[in-house]
Structure 1
Amino acid sequence: MKRRSRLSETIVTPSPNAVIANYISSPLAEYRGNPFIEALPPEVSYERLAVVLPERPPYDESERQLPSHLRAHCIQRMFQYFEPLGRHFDAGMRLDILMRTGYRKRNPMTPEFRRRLQEIYQMSQRQDFDGAGLDTLPPSMSMTLIGVSGTGKTRSLRRTIAQYPKVIWHEKYQINQIPWLIVECPPDAGIKQLCLSFFEAVDLALGRQHYALQFGAKGVTTPQRILEVANIARIHAIGGIIFDEVQYIRSARGTAREEVLNFFVTLVNLSGTPIVLVGTMAAQELLQADFSKARRGAGLGGLVWTRFDHTDEWDYLMEELWSYQWTRKSIAFSPEISKVFYQRTQGVVDLAVKLYVLSQYRAMITGEEEVTAELMEAVAGDEFKLLKPMLDALASGDPVRIAKYDDLRPLEFEKVLEREQLRMVEKIDVQALRRRFEQEQASKRAQILEMLRTEGLTAEMAELTTAKMFDLSPEQTTKQAVPEIVKIVGKRGRAPSRRREKAESSEPSSLPKEDLRKIVAERGSNCTAYDALKISGAVGNPVWSDME
C-alpha cells in the first residue's frame, strides 16, 4: 500500500514567530499586486544596507581606565565587529533582487500557484516521481558565493536577511510566508541529512516541531523527501534558500555528490524558489563544473571573494577596527600598523580581528598597555604558527603552492563577469555612505532636541532622552521619536511653567524674613500662627485686652 502524503494533514495556523501581513504597493509594475512581495519591506537601497549591514560593538573611551580583568571582557566585543565593504553591499543588493524575482512566478492570487501545489502533491501521493516529463517552471534566478574563509560571506548574508521578518502571516490566503531560510549542509553530504537540515530550519523559523518529525522518520523514501522539500518551500512561499558550507558535498562518496547537485536543480524546478550556494574555495570544482551544467548558478552570477588587496579599502577597514582600543595608552593608526595587519593576515579580515584581540591581551598581560607594530609582529609569530604555511602560500601568489590548501585556492571565472563585478563594487563608496548617514543622524538629532524643548522638556532631559533613543532605535523618524519621548518622560522632565515659577517664588525659603507667610511657615510645632505673629511683633494685643 502506498504511503499517502502527510502534508494533507497539516493544519495551517499563524506561526508564533509571524507578523501580520501589511501590504504596500510596489513602485515597480512587475511586483505590483503580488501579496508575497508587497508584504515585504521596500526594495533595498545602498543607503538602507549602510544601516542594516554594519555591526559595531559598544565602546566607551572611559572603559580604558577599568581594571584589566574587566577590560578583558570588553575586548571580546570585537568578535561582534563587522564593517561592510563594497562586496558585502553588492551581495546584499543581489539577495533582495533574487528573492523578489523568484516571487514573480509565485503569486497566490493566480490559478498557477494552486495548480503547482496540487501537481507536487499528487506526485508525492503516487510516489512515482523520477523527474521525467516534469512540467517545470522557467529557471529561477540563483547564485553562488565562494570565498576564502574569514571574508564575511555568511555574516553579510545573515545581516542582509535579518531586515526581513522571519515569518509573515497572510490571513486571506492562510499562508505562513518565510522570506529567507538558511540551511547548513551536513558534513556527511547525504540527501537524507540535507533534507532533514531543511525540515529543521523550517521548523525553527515557524517556531514549531513539525516537519522534521513527519518526514525525518523511517519509511519515507528519498524521492518523497525531495518532493516534500519542494512542497514545503512552495506552501510557505520561501523567498530564497541559502545553502551554506556546500564544500561538504565535495566529500560525498559514490553517486551521492551527483544526487545532491540534482537535488538542488529539482528543488528550483519544482518549487520555483531561488537558491544561494555558499562555500569556501574548496567548492570551486563542484560549483564551477558540476553545478554549472544545470545552469542554475548563473542567474545573478557566481560571486568570488578572494582575500582583500592592500588598498585604501583595507586601510579604511583596519582604521575602523583600530578605534576599539582598551589599552591604557592610545596609539594612533598608521600606515605601518596597516602594513603589519596585511602582511600577517594576507587580507583575511577574520584573522585581522583575532590578531588585534590577541595583541591587546598581550599588551595588558605584559603591562606595556599599548599595541605597537612590533607587538603585533611578535603575537602573530607566536599565535599564527599553524596558519603560517597557508599564509605564506597566499603571500607568494604561486598557484601551485596555493592549490595545496583547498580553502584558499583562487577561482578563474569568466573575465567578463569579473569585470562587471568590479565595476559594480567600485561604484559603492562605503565611506561616503557612512558620512552621509552620520550627517543625517546629526541633523535629525538637532531637530528632535529643538522640538523637545518646544514641548517643554528641559535641555538636560531632552539631551539625555534623545541620546537613549538613538542608541535603541536610530532609524526612527523625527515625527515618530518626539511624541514617543514626550510620552515616556511625561511631566518629570518638563521645564517649569509660569504658574509653577510663580508658585516656586512663594516658597518660604525664598521670602524676606518680615514676610508674614515666612513667619507663619517657620513657627514651631507648639506655636499657633497667631502666637507666631504676636511674638514677632507683627500684631498687637486685642482691643479687649487693653480694656481689662
Structure 2
Amino acid sequence: MTITQAIYHDAILPEHKGNPLIEALPPKIAWQVVMTVFCNYPDYAEEVSEHPNPLVREEYLNRIEELRQPLTDYESCFRAIERAIKKGYSAKNPLSPTTAQYLHYLVDERPEIEPRTGFFQPKGEGLTLIGERGVGKSSMLEQVLNYFPNVIEHDSYKGCSLTALKQVVWIKVDCPSNSSVRDLCEEILSVLDLSLDKEKTKPAGTIGALVRQLEQCIKSSFLGMLIIESPRVHRRPVCLSQATLPDSFKLS
C-alpha cells in the first residue's frame, strides 16, 4: 500500500482546475515514459547460461517471473483507468458546496435546497476486463494500479485547509465465491479501514443499513476506483444486482 503526501500539479482540462483530488494525482505523461516504469528486465549474464552447474542455471530461471514487457493492451488499460479516476473525481471537488452536501446526506435523503453550485451529479465510469485464464490480466491490472498511490494525504490547497482529508485513490477486493452482497460489502469496508489506517468498522446488522454505511464510507474516503476481481472458480455464477449496491457503485 502506497501512502503519499499531496503534491499538486496544474490540471490540463479547465473543468479539472482547482480540484485538489485531481491535481494531486500523478501528472499525465507520455506512454513511452510510463512504459519504462512498467518494464522490468532481470539481470542476465552469458556466464550464467553457460555455467557448468545445472542447479545454478535452474536457480536463475526463477527470475523469469520478474520479467515485465508491457504490450499494447497495457496502454489501453492504463489510459482507461486514468480517465475513469479523473472523471469520477471531476464531480467531487472537496472545496465545492455541492460536494459538501453530497458528503453530508445519503442519496435518498438529499434536501430540496440546491447549493449555489448545483446538486451533485455522479460521473462514475465502469470498466470490465475480460480474458482467458492465465494470460496476465491480474498482473497487468496490478502494475497499472500500482502506478497510482493508494492513498493521498492532503493538508492544505492554495491556502485552503484540507486537514485530515485522506483520498483513497483505489482499492481492490475479491468478489466472494458465494455471491454474497453482504460479504462483498464487509470486505470493502475492511479494505477501506486498512487503507485509512483506522480501527475496523463494525458492519451494520442488516443489508440495507450495511449498504448505507458503506455508501458513507466510500464518500468520506473520496474513493476514486473500486476494483472487484471475480474468483476463478465459482460454485455458482456471481450476479450482483445494481439494485442491491449503493449508488457509489453504479454506472452513471
- TM-score category (smaller protein): 0.7 to 0.9
Greater strand content: 2
Correspondent of 1:86 among 72, 76, 82 = 72
- 8 Å CA contact retained: 1:92, 1:156: no
Equivalent in the alignment of 1:482: none
- 8 Å CA contact retained: 2:25, 2:148: yes
What's the secondary structure of 1:19's corresponding residue? Answer: strand
Structure 1 distance, partners of 2:27, 2:123, is 25
What's the secondary structure of 2:243's corresponding residue? Answer: helix
User: Percent same amino acid among aligned pairs?
Assistant: 23
Gaps of 5+ in 1: 1-15, 124-134, 270-295, 300-548
Residues 434-491 of structure 1, C-alpha deviation per residue, up to 9 Å, x if partnerless?
Answer: xxxxxxxxxxxxxxxxxxxxxxxxxxxxxxxxxxxxxxxxxxxxxxxxxxxxxxxxxx
Equivalent in the alignment of 1:109: 95
Q: CA deviation at 1:67?
A: 2.6
Q: CA deviation at 1:139?
A: 4.7
Per mean C-alpha deviation after superposition, the further-off stretch among 65-74 and 84-93 is: 65-74
Residues 1:166 and 2:150 aligned together: yes
How does the TM-score come out when normalised to structure 1?
0.40
Matches within 5 A, 1:169-318: 169-171=153-155, 172-173=161-162, 174-211=164-201, 214-215=202-203, 220-245=205-230, 251=236, 257-259=239-241, 261-264=242-245, 266-269=247-250, 296=251
Residues 505-535 of structure 1, C-alpha deviation per residue, up to 9 Å, x if partnerless?
Answer: xxxxxxxxxxxxxxxxxxxxxxxxxxxxxxx
Equivalent in the alignment of 1:53: 38
Q: CA deviation at 1:267?
A: 2.8
Equivalent in the alignment of 1:148: 132
Residues 318-364 of structure 1, C-alpha deviation per residue, up to 9 Å, x if partnerless?
Answer: xxxxxxxxxxxxxxxxxxxxxxxxxxxxxxxxxxxxxxxxxxxxxxx
Equivalent in the alignment of 2:9: 24
How does the TM-score come out when normalised to structure 2?
0.82
- 8 Å CA contact retained: 2:215, 2:246: no
- 8 Å CA contact retained: 2:99, 2:120: no
Structure 2 distance, partners of 1:155, 1:101, is 24
Structure 2 distance, partners of 1:95, 1:44, is 14
Name the larger-Rg structure.
1
What's the secondary structure of 1:71's corresponding residue? Answer: helix
Distance 1:250 1:34, change over 3 A: farther
Distance 1:249 1:42, change over 3 A: farther
- 8 Å CA contact retained: 1:17, 1:206: no
What's the secondary structure of 1:146's corresponding residue? Answer: coil
Specify the code of the residue in structure 2 equivalent to 1:40: L
* Greater RCO (CA < 8 Å, at least 6 residues apart): 2
What's the secondary structure of 1:151's corresponding residue? Answer: coil
Q: RMSD of the TM alignment (CA)?
A: 2.8
Distance 1:139 1:168, change over 3 A: closer
Distance 1:258 1:244, change over 3 A: closer
* Aligned residue pairs, count: 236
